[in-house]
Amino acid sequence: MKRIQSIDIARGLVILIMALDHCRDLLHTTAITQNPTDVNTSTPILFFTRWITHFCAPAFVFLAGSSAYLSFKKTNNLSAARIFLIQRGFWLVLLEFTIINFGIWFDIHFQMLFFQVIAAIGFGMIILCLLYTSDAADD
């Protein structure tokens, strides 16, 4: 299946912006005392780099949904699309609640589970799988 380069480029730009924000979180020396979204204490570039990242997760989810739809329309195989979405969704949820939560808390007993962006994308794919109907194949 031929990939649509514009979607991949947009997804790559979103990932770069997210990486910029994560680097800012880890490397910004005054990040503990300075809120980057407070216009009274922040610099314009610091404010902008934090502000723009608020669009990353919705853009990434939109691009994932668009890719899922276009992939389904190209194959027109409802059961294969559902299987792919549910498998990908469960993998993302499992990844979030195991490796990522362990990476944050270093707790092998998993007493604290964070439901964050990756799990939200995974559950979104599972819900999208349930919303796919045979009517979608008729379009």
Q: What is the pLDDT of residues 129-138, one digit of tens each?
A: 988 776 655 6
Mean pLDDT of the chain, nearest integer: 85
| Domain layout of the chain by residue ranges | 1-75, 76-139
C-alpha atoms less than 13 angstroms from C-alpha of 91 in its C-beta half-sphere: 6
CB neighbours of residue 94 within 10 Å: 13
Q: In the numeric block, which tokens belong to residue 74? A: 């190209």
Q: CA 20, CA 49: separation in Å to the nearest integer?
A: 8
On whether the CB atoms of residues 105 and 115 are closer than 8 A, the answer is no
Q: What is the pLDDT of residue 6?
A: 93
On whether the CB atoms of residues 71 and 62 are closer than 8 A, the answer is no
29-62 residue pLDDT tens:
666 667 888 888 888 888 888 888 889 989 988 9
Please state the separation of Cα 136 from the chain's center in Å. 24
Q: What is the pLDDT of residue 46?
A: 82
Tokens 């439901």, residue? Answer: 115
What's the mean pLDDT in 11-37? 81
For 34, which DSSP code? -
Radius of gyration of the chain (CA): 18
103-117 residue pLDDT tens:
888 888 878 888 888
Q: What is the pLDDT of residue 72?
A: 87
68-84 residue pLDDT tens:
888 888 888 889 999 99
Q: What is the pLDDT of residue 36?
A: 81
Q: What is the pLDDT of residue 134?
A: 62
Q: What is the pLDDT of residue 45?
A: 83
Query: Is the pLDDT score of 16 beyond 70?
Result: yes
pTM: predicted TM-score of the whole model, two decimal places? 0.76
Please state the separation of Cα 60 from the chain's center in Å. 5
